[in-house]
Amino acid sequence: MEKNVAVGRRKASVARVFISKGKGKVTVNGKDLKEYFSVDFLQNKVLEPLVATENTKSFDFVVNVAGGGIKGQAEAIQLGISRALLLIDEEHRLALKPLRMLTRDARVVERKKPGFRKARKKEQFSKR
């Protein structure tokens, strides 16, 4: 089986996911998943699509991720893995769609506007 490539995005993070037959190994930027994401809930977030489709030991993933913080990167990888699983078998859509793992979360940081301290916070009003 050749390598299939899928892309996942979240906030400022972009993840390219390469999927191939294997034993369930996930490598992120040349490091093991547990080494790259030291926090448990981020590891679980990345592996959610595999647990939902019962493929934790079926495929190997090599992931290149850049931009954003670790949470945005983990969610970008989750979307990339979900899309990669669909390339292998379209039947996985039934398990992933209800859990919202195929939807790109489009929320990003709002830009700062002129005359404001932040995106929406105004200067303090002075009556006199």
Q: For residue 88, give the CATH number of its domain.
A: 3.30.230.10
Tell me, what's the pLDDT at 34?
Answer: 94
Spatial distance between the Cα atoms of 98 and 39, rounded to a whole number of angstroms: 26
CB 6 within 8 A of CB 17: yes
The Cα angle at residue 100 between residues 97 and 101, in degrees rounded to 5: 85
What sign results for the dihedral spanned by CA atoms 67, 68, 70, 76?
negative
128 within domain boundaries: no
Q: Is residue 25 part of a domain?
A: yes
What pTM did the predictor assign?
Answer: 0.90
Q: Are strands 4-10 and 26-28 parallel, antiparallel or unpaired?
A: unpaired
Q: Which pLDDT tens digit goes with each residue over 85-115?
A: 999 999 999 999 999 999 999 999 999 999 9
What is the predicted pLDDT for the residue at 105?
93
Which pLDDT value is given to residue 29? 95
- Rounded-to-integer distance, Cα 79 and Cα 73, Å: 10
**pLDDT of 2 strictly over 90:** no
Is residue 120 a part of any domain in this protein? no
Rg (CA), the chain: 18
Range of the domain at 54: 4-96
Q: Coil, helix or strand for 59?
A: strand
Domains of the chain: total: 1
Question: What would the mean pLDDT of 40-55 be, rounded to a whole number?
Answer: 94
| In-domain check, residue 92 | yes
Q: Using 50, 70 and 90 to split pLDDT, how confident is the model at 128?
A: confident
